[in-house]
Amino acid sequence: MKKYILGLLLSGTCLFSGCYYDVESELYPKDPNQTCDTLNVGYQARIEPIIKSNCVACHTGSGAGGNVSLDSYQGVRDATINRNLYGAVSHTSNKPMPQGGNKLPDCDINAIKKWIDNGHPQ
Ligand code: HEC
């Protein structure tokens, strides 16, 4: 009887939170068909579009936020090296970005991390 109740409790947890092992991206993290592509993280194909739609508005020209210019490959690359860009987008630094906006989707944050780890491919 005790085992029965425990079983019920466990399956209940699954029902309400979604079973961990049902999450496809956890099961097949390297599946090339998964929706979050962190395999191909070249600047032009993957990183620039993220920065353009979320960051450039405040980070270009002479009035760039924090004097961080993100309108070129060089600028974004330098910001990851000198200005903790990853800390900003992952909200682990004290200057979370986009400032005043929503955190980027995990997929984009992971792609940025991969791009940095891979040595900033163009
Ligand atoms: C609404 C305007 C705005 C947006 C959008 C924005 N930023 Fe910023 N950003 C700022 C301002 C202003 C600062 C300077 C903040 C300060 O020094 O307190 C800043 C600072 C930074 C810094 C320097 C942080 C540091 O620790 O010195 C980085 C890196 C950065 N932003 C990256 C980004 C990235 C990447 C995005 C897009 C995901 C983004 N920002 C979006 C306004 C913005």
Is 58 touching ligand 1 by the criterion CB < 6 Å?
Answer: yes
pLDDT digits (tens, 9 = 90+) for 47-65: 999 999 999 999 999 999 9
In this prediction, what percent of the chain has a pLDDT beyond 90?
67
Is residue 6's pLDDT more than 80? no
Centre a 10 Å sphere on the Cβ of residue 47 and count the other Cβ atoms it contains: 24
Atom 11, ligand 1: residue with shortest CA distance: 65
Q: Which residues contact 14 (CB under 8 A, 6 or more apart)?
A: none
Residue 65 near ligand 1, beta carbon < 6 Å: yes
**How high is the pLDDT of residue 37?**
80
**Top mutation candidate among 58, 89, 93 for ligand 1, by most atoms within 8 Å of CB:** 58
Q: Distance, CA 18 to ligand 1 centroid (Å)?
A: 35
- Report CA(43)–ligand 1 centroid distance (Å): 19
Tokens, residue 21: 């092992």
Whole-number Å distance between alpha carbons of 108 and 112:
6
Give the start-to-end residue ranges of the domains of the chain.
1-30, 36-117
pLDDT for the residue numbered 32: 47
Asked if the model's pLDDT at residue 15 lies above 80, the reply is: no
Q: Is the pLDDT of residue 34 over 80?
A: no
**pLDDT higher than threshold 70 for residue 105:** yes
Is the model's pLDDT at 16 over the cut of 50?
yes
pLDDT value for 67: 97
The token duo for 31 is 């599946």
Distance 103 CA to ligand 1 centre (A): 12
- Residue 55 Cβ inside 6 Å of ligand 1? The answer reads yes
pLDDT value of residue 33: 47
Q: What is the mean pLDDT of residues 21-40?
A: 61
Which runs of consecutive H residues, i.e. helices, occur in 28-72?
A: 48-54
